[in-house]
Amino acid sequence: MMGCDSYVELEPRGEISSNYFNSEEEYEKALIGAYDMLQITFWNTLSATMASDDIIAGGDPSNEDQPTLQRIDKMGQTQEDNNQLRDIWGFMYAGINRANYILEFKDKTAFSGRDEIIAQAYFLRAYFTFELAKWFGDIPLSTEKRDGVERILNKRTFVGEEYTINRVGSIAAVYSLIEEDLKEAIVNLPESQVEKYEITKGAAQALLGKIYLYHGKFDNSKFSKAAVVFNQVINSAKYQLADYNVLFTPAGENGVEAVFEIQYTNVEGASWACIQCSEGNYMPKFNAPRDFSNATYMNGWGFSLPTQALFNAFKSGDKRRDVTILDLRGETTYALSRENTGFFTKKYLPTKIDEADRNGSDPLNFQNNYRSIRYADVLLMQAEAVVQSGGASGEVSLNKVRARAFGNSSHDFPYNGESNLLDAIYAERRVELAGEGHRFFDLVRTGRAKTAFDAYNSSKASNANAINYVENKNEIFPIPLVELELANAVARWGQNPGY
Average pLDDT on 6-29 reads 73
Q: Is the pLDDT of residue 7 over 70?
A: no
Domain co-membership, 183 together with 309: no
Q: Are 62 and 184 in a shared domain?
A: yes
pLDDT in tens, 456-473: 999 999 999 999 999 999
Domain ends where: 368, 392, 409?
368
Domain termination site, one of 368, 401, 421: 368
Residues sharing a CB contact under 8 Å with residue 362, sequence separation 6 or more, in sequence order: 269, 270, 271, 272
> Of all helices (H) and strands (E), which one includes residue 230?
helix 221-235
Kindly report, residue by residue over 469-485, the tens digit of the pLDDT.
999 999 999 999 999 99
198 plus 324 within the same structural domain: no
**Residue at 7 is within a domain:** no
- HSE-CB of 420 using CA atoms within 13 angstroms: 5
Q: Indicate if 334 and 439 belong to the same structural domain.
A: no
Same domain for 376 and 362? no
Cα–Cα distance measured from residue 456 to residue 436, given in angstroms and rounded to the nearest whole number: 19
Say yes or no to pLDDT of 163 above 80. Answer: yes
Average pLDDT over residues 389-411: 97
Whether residue 400 is predicted with pLDDT greater than 60 in this model: the reply is: yes
Question: Same domain, yes or no, for 288 and 392?
Answer: no
In a domain, 170, yes or no: yes
Give, rounded to a whole angstrom, the gap between the first and last alpha carbons of the chain: 46
Number of domains in the chain: 2
12 belongs to a structural domain: no
pTM of the predicted model as reported, rounded to 2 decimal places: 0.95
Q: Which residues make Cβ contacts (< 8 Å) with residue 21, sequence separation at least 6?
A: 27, 30, 102, 105, 108, 109
Q: What is the DSSP letter of 106?
A: T
Render pLDDT for 259-306 as a digit per residue (tens, 0 to 9): 999 999 988 877 888 888 889 998 999 999 999 988 999 999 999 999
Q: What is the pLDDT of residues 319-341, one digit of tens each?
A: 999 999 999 999 999 999 999 99
Strand partners, 343: 327
Specify whether 247 is located in the same domain as 314: no
The predicted pLDDT at position 363 comes to: 80
- How many residues does the structure list for the chain? 499
Please compute the mean of the pLDDT values over residues 54-83 and round it to a whole number. Answer: 95
Mean pLDDT (whole number) for 165-175: 98
Query: Helix, strand, or coil here: 499?
Result: coil
pLDDT exceeds 70 at position 136: yes
Per-residue model confidence as pLDDT tens digits over 175-195: 999 999 999 999 999 999 999
CA atoms within 13 A on the CB side of 93: 18
Q: Which of 324, 346, 368 is the last residue of a domain?
A: 368
Q: Tally helices (H) and strands (E) across the chain.
A: 20, 8
Q: If DSSP states are collapsed to H, E and C, what string results for 21-60? A: CCCHHHHHHHHHHHHHHHHHHHHHHHHHHHHCCCEEEECC
Looking at the fold, whether 254 and 276 belong to one and the same domain comes out as no
The pLDDT assigned to 360 comes to 72
Residues 298, 162 share a domain: no
Same domain? 119 vs 48? yes
* Whether residue 256 is found in the same domain as residue 295: no
**Domain hosting residue 330, numbered range:** 272-368
Residue 10 lies in a domain: no
Which pLDDT band, with edges at 50, 70 and 90, does 225 fall under? very high
Strand partners, 290: 300, 335
- Looking at the structure, do residues 313 and 344 belong to the same domain, yes or no? yes
294 in any annotated domain: yes
CA–CA–CA angle 241, 409, 324 (5° rounding): 50
> Which of 4-8, 21-25, 73-77 is the least confident region?
4-8
CATH code (residue 36): 1.25.40.390
Distance CA 71, CA 474 (A): 12
pLDDT for position 10: 42
Encoded amino acid at 370, one letter: Y
pLDDT value of residue 4? 46
The Cα 454–Cα 443 span in angstroms is 12
Band of residue 14 on the pLDDT scale cut at 50, 70, 90: low
Q: Return the pLDDT at 45.
A: 98
